[in-house]
Structure 1
Amino acid sequence: MKSKKSIIESATTTLKLESEAILNLLQYINDDFVEIVSAILACKGRVIVTGIGKSAIIAQKIVATFNSTGTPAIFMHAADAVHGDLGMIQRDDIVMCLSKSGNTPEIKLLAPLLKQSGNLLIGMLGSTDSDLAKQADFILNTSVEKEACPHNLAPTTSTTAQLAMGDALAVCLLEAREFNTNDFARFHPGGSLGKRLYLKTGDLAVKNEKPSISPDASVKDVIIEISKNRLGAVVVIANEKIMGIITDGDIRRMLENYTNIEDIKASDLMSTNPKRIDKDELALLALEIIKKNNITQLLVTKNEEYFGIIHLHDLLQEGII
Structure 2
Amino acid sequence: MNVTAKDHSIPLSDGNRIPLVGLGTYGDPRTTSKGTAAESVKLAIDVGYRHFDGALVYYNEHEVGQAIREKIADGTVKREDIFYCGKLWNTFHPPELVRPALERTLKTLQLDYVDLYIVELPMAFKPGDAFYPKDENGKWLYHKTDLLATWEALEACKDAGLTKSLGVSNFNRRQLELILNKPGLKHKPVSNQVECHPYFTQPKLLEYCRQNDIVIVGYSPLGTSRDASWVNLKCPPMLADEVLVSIGKKYNKNSAQVALRFNVQRGVVVIPKSFSPQRIKDNFQVGIFDFSLTEEEMKAIEGLNKNVRFVELLMWSDHPEYPFHDEY
TM-score normalised over the length of structure 1 = 0.28
TM-score normalised over the length of structure 2 = 0.28
Q: Which structure is higher in helix share?
A: 1
Which is greater in Rg?
A: 1
